[in-house]
A and B are shown apart, each in its own frame.
Chain A
Amino acid sequence: MMKAGQWLAAVLLAGCISACGGGSDNTSSRYSSSVSSDTSSSASSASSVSSDINSSSSVSSTSSEISSASSAVTQVSIRGAVTYDFVPLQNPGGLNYALTEARPVRHALVELLDSADKVLASGQTTEKGDYLLQAPANTQVRVRVLAQSRQSAAQRWDIRVEDNTAENALYAMSGRLHDSGNHDGTRDLHAPSGWDGNGYGESRVAAPFAILDTAYMALAQIRKVESAFVLPTSYFRWSPRNRPAEGLLGDGDIGTSFYDSGANALYILGQENVDTDEYDRHVIAHEWMHYLEDERIGRMDSIGGNHGSYDKLDLRVAWSEGLANAFSGIVLDDPLYLDSFDSGQSVVGGGNLTDTRGMPQGWYSEASVQALIYTLAQEEGFDTLYSVLTAPAFRTADSLHSIFTFIETFTDLHPVPAANFRSRLLQQGVTGSDEFATDESNDGGTAHALPVYQPLEVGASPIRICSSQQNGSYNKLGVTRLLQFEVAASGHYQVRAQKTKEQAQETDPDMHLYYQGERLKSLESSDVDREEGRLYLEQGRRYVLEVYDYYHAAGFGVPLPTSCFDLTLVSAN
């Protein structure tokens, strides 16, 4: 039974052949030539049709109909299986090349090219990695599998794996030119890892497909719980030259595997014997979750920076990183977050996502967040978790995204499971129950960490807030202080932070104003010991103000003493 899209594809293909002069009257060579030139010019539309029908079997139906209408052998089917070398990661031991196995390349774009590199046909591999394409008979053709998965149906996505050291060229594995003959043929393509027993002695063809497959696994989890979505293109960028050195991305000096929010790009390490991540599936899924947070949840409040399970972090960073860690375990159905590196990729870091022993526990800990979110998905299902993350109320929350924002939305949407989850939260030292954590009592042993959000009133006496490097600089707990407030009337207001008189050391206070996670204004002058600025504020909005000492955030030299500021907000109309 042909679906509408399949029928359309059949008509289009038949129409194309007719227009090209195809039929029983034409010689094989003439027909072949016509197909070649015409399909080449419509390569992009052929691709989109293929994506829409998303099944190579539909092409088969088309082919059989056409074949029955034509007595000459003008077309043949080329089918095959596409696989890649999957190298398992073990703890201890790292990547275990001895256990390498061939896994299907799923839902990747496949093309048939002629000797002039014209695209004659295109399609997509199935869930089992199989493909089927139609080729002109007796023609030199080759099969090329792109490291790209794309669909333009109700569930829309586009995932590409590119080489950032070659101007972001799309990776592909290619077969060789071979005569298509006059009967159907099979061409299986396999992407080898390039491992020769001692190192990557050969081309690492499998790496882009390993990344693509992990990304598809993550995507598949979303497909199960959301029938329609539109995800913009996610650009994975990997190269064997991608090193943990800070420099130019085009040189491969990417620093670490990371998500670049502005470009929807996910840079992945690839330097052998130092740090490769193409087979570190949790790392790939972790970074893709950052993309999802940005593009599907619709907000990326995290300020990024170095982070780990033993750090006490800014609440936004703890939330985003803990969520990404948990997501990797959920979509891979594996709570062991592992990351290989060093000689032979033989050293492993990471651990069980639910084991937070010895680590900081609380709202400022990515370890606590990952344990909580992973456990929640196990107990209540991924669909419950996803419903909270994608709820409009979560996206438009006034607070900066943190475990507290999640708790409040979770409680509103699923009160019974949320009540049951309370004991889990308390186990991890999270006591706050609303988005502004008004009843939070865990300060992480950090002076001035509570309240999480300090209330601010217009025209009131100055509020004293302090910024410290007790837990480190930039994105660590204590560097930034948050305040929340509303105004009774829309208009202009003056906000001012002034260093307190008791302090001797020089400071440089800075401020950011947010509404629903969007940064509305930054006050970042280099004025010594004070910062002030004029704000336009609207009645009925709850704002968040972030205040910190630039010197503490930047982390120059030795740890600095605590900086305290008197903060005021007054009407300036």
Chain B
Amino acid sequence: MKSIYFYPRLLALVIALAACTDTGSASKAQVVKATPVTVAQSSHKQGQGKPALDISLVQPQQLIPEGQPASVDLSLRSSMPAGTVAVTLALPDTLSNSANADLQYQFTLPAGVLPLNLTLYSQVPGKHYIQLHAHHLETSEQRLFNAIVWVGEEPGSLKKSTMGVSEAPASGVQELPARESIY
């Protein structure tokens, strides 16, 4: 199972495309629609955040099946009244973009929702982050943020360790090693 992590993205893409052209396995080839994931405990939402470009994801988290192409809605919401926003996406190695787009987009404001859809494929179950870099060309304001794509498993079914979260120390103190000089 671990070796899957080392499959080249290209190989995964070939597998996906091959599946798409295999009439004998039409159900596998079908591009399904990603399922929005509702987060029980939201993060900043309408909290007092630092200044940043006013742009955010309509669907911050989505679930796609493992080993099957899925349409993922990465549409953005912005209430900026004017200008042009350039958006660049960066996928992790564990996600393949079967549309093979260059992942660069431009939107003219105002637009409300900036439509952005990708067909993604992954054989690596778990949590994956897509990085989005938005740049307002007139004001030079920028923002980097992440979309979360869950592959194969419901978020609640994953153990903490698979999400890269630390186990809490029993003492309640997270000790990090100091560089110490004793004399």
Indicate if B47 sits at the interface (CB-CB under 8 A): yes
Structural contact, B166 and A163, CB atoms closer than 8 A? yes
How far apart sit A427 and B86, CA to CA, in the bound complex (Å)?
33
Interface bits A165-198 vs B (CB < 8 Å: 1, else 0): 1110111111110100000011111111000000
Please choose the segment from A30-38, A249-257, A417-425 that sits at the chain B interface, where 4 or more of its residues have CB less than 8 A away.
A249-257
Structural contact, B179 and A190, CB atoms closer than 8 A? yes
How far apart sit A204 and B143, CA to CA, in the bound complex (Å)?
24
Please name all residues of chain B whose beta carbon is closer than 8 Å to the beta carbon of A324 when the two chains form the complex. Answer: 48
| A280 CB → nearest B CB, Å | 8
| A-side interface residues, number (CB < 8 Å) | 97
Please name all residues of chain A whose beta carbon is closer than 8 Å to the beta carbon of B45 when the two chains form the complex. Answer: 246, 255, 304
Structural contact, A258 and B110, CB atoms closer than 8 A? no
Please name all residues of chain B whose beta carbon is closer than 8 Å to the beta carbon of A342 when the two chains form the complex. Answer: 133, 144
A258 and B179 in contact, given A472-B80, A558-B112 (Cβ under 8 angstroms): no
Indicate if A46 sits at the interface (CB-CB under 8 A): no
Structural contact, B112 and A349, CB atoms closer than 8 A? no
Structural contact, A283 and B112, CB atoms closer than 8 A? no
How far apart sit A254 and B165, CA to CA, in the bound complex (Å)?
13
Please choose the segment from B10-18, B49-57, B63-71 that sits at the chain A interface, where 4 or more of its residues have CB less than 8 A away.
B49-57
CB within 8 Å: A-B pair count? 241
Interface bits B127-141 vs A (CB < 8 Å: 1, else 0): 001010100100101
Please name all residues of chain B whose beta carbon is closer than 8 Å to the beta carbon of A277 when the two chains form the complex. Answer: 50
Structural contact, B50 and A245, CB atoms closer than 8 A? no
Structural contact, B178 and A166, CB atoms closer than 8 A? no
Please choose the segment from B19-27, B92-100, B118-126, B169-177 that sits at the chain A interface, where 4 or more of its residues have CB less than 8 A away.
B169-177
Indicate if B101 sits at the interface (CB-CB under 8 A): no
Structural contact, A253 and B43, CB atoms closer than 8 A? yes
Interface bits B142-179 vs A (CB < 8 Å: 1, else 0): 11111110000000000000011111110111111111
Indicate if B4 sits at the interface (CB-CB under 8 A): no
Instruction: Specify which of B46, B113, B141, B178 is in contact with A205 (CB 8 Å cutoff).
Output: B178
Please name all residues of chain A whose beta carbon is closer than 8 Å to the beta carbon of B41 when the two chains form the complex. Answer: 248-250
Closest to A250 in B: B165
Please choose the segment from A47-55, A305-313, A530-538, A564-572 that sits at the chain B interface, where 4 or more of its residues have CB less than 8 A away.
A305-313
Interface secondary structure of A, over-half rule:
mixed
| A247 CB → nearest B CB, Å | 5
Structural contact, B163 and A274, CB atoms closer than 8 A? no
Please name all residues of chain B whose beta carbon is closer than 8 Å to the beta carbon of A339 when the two chains form the complex. Answer: 50-51
A window 433-483: CB within 8 A of B: 469-476
Indicate if B6 sits at the interface (CB-CB under 8 A): no
- Pick from B53, B57, B79, B142 the residue with the most CB of A within 10 Å: B79
B window 28-51: CB within 8 A of A: 39-51
| B-side interface residues, number (CB < 8 Å) | 63
How far apart sit A166 and B174, CA to CA, in the bound complex (Å)?
8
Indicate if B103 sits at the interface (CB-CB under 8 A): no
Structural contact, A165 and B49, CB atoms closer than 8 A? no
How far apart sit A352 and B11, CA to CA, in the bound complex (Å)?
49
Structural contact, A173 and B112, CB atoms closer than 8 A? no
Indicate if A404 sits at the interface (CB-CB under 8 A): no
A window 269-290: CB within 8 A of B: 274-275, 277, 283, 286-287, 290
Structural contact, A287 and B50, CB atoms closer than 8 A? yes
List residues of chain A with CB under 8 Å of any chain B CB: 117, 143-146, 162-163, 165-167, 169-176, 178, 185-192, 203-205, 208, 239, 241, 243-261, 267, 274-275, 277, 283, 286-287, 290, 300, 302-311, 320-321, 324-325, 337, 339, 341-342, 347, 349-350, 358, 366, 469-476, 555-559
Interface CB pairs A-B, < 8 A, 12:
A166-B165, A176-B180, A186-B183, A188-B181, A190-B178, A249-B41, A274-B146, A286-B51, A306-B53, A308-B51, A308-B52, A470-B81
